[in-house]
Amino acid sequence: MDEKKHILTSKGMAALEEELQELKVVRRKEIAQKIKEAREQGDLSENAEYDAAKDEQRAIETRIEELEKIIKNSEVISDDNVDHTVVNIGSTVEFLDMEFDEKFSYTIVGSTESDIIKGLISNESPLGAALIGSRVGEVIDVEGLDGVSRYKILGITRPEL
């Protein structure tokens, strides 16, 4: 079975690699020390610190495995041969919500690095998918839970990814 291909910006890839390095080099040593200290306290059957450290160790190892899979199965998007007049993954799009007359700006990224609070929306989300391929001046319709929303594209930029 093929793994899902993760689309990442170079910033997103760097962040994942940094997190993986931190977990492998720093966090593994910290948790090993916690487990050692808990073992030195004696009876492990009733040792809450030992159980908590082992749970934390499992969580760290699970995250390491997850990060390694994502990195192995990812495609880093590049700015080469990209039409900057059309919304693509990596584009920052400024648009107007035509119903509420509000302006928004989001950067389109792969689902792995999406974070709405940071202004990063997934290319797989309804809004992200509708924005892909649009140009300045176009109006797009996005099907949502509350019905169809209309947005007018005001600007497209390519920040450093």
Residue listed under structure tokens 């487990």? 35
pLDDT in tens, 43-75: 777 778 888 999 999 999 999 999 999 999 998
Looking at domain 92-157, does it have CATH number 3.40.50.1820?
no
How far apart CA 45 and CA 90 sit, in angstroms, is 52
Q: Which two tokens stand for residue 21?
A: 């390095």
Q: Please name the fold of domain 6-76.
A: Helix Hairpins (1.10.287)
Q: What is the pLDDT of residue 78?
A: 75
Residues 65-101, buried b or exposed e (16+ Cβ, 10 A)? eebeebbeebebbeeeeeeeeebbbbbbbebbeeeee
Mean pLDDT by 10 residues, the chain (161 residues): 77 93 96 90 78 94 96 85 84 95 95 94 95 96 91 90 56
Q: What is the pLDDT of residue 20?
A: 97
Backbone angles phi, psi at 45, to 5 degrees: -65, -25
Instruction: Tell me if 6-76 shares its fold with 92-157.
Output: no
Q: What is the pLDDT of residue 161?
A: 56
Boundaries of every domain in the chain: 6-76, 92-157
Q: What is the pTM of this model?
A: 0.76
Residue 55 Cα distances to 15, 26, 31, 34, 45, angstroms: 25, 17, 10, 11, 14
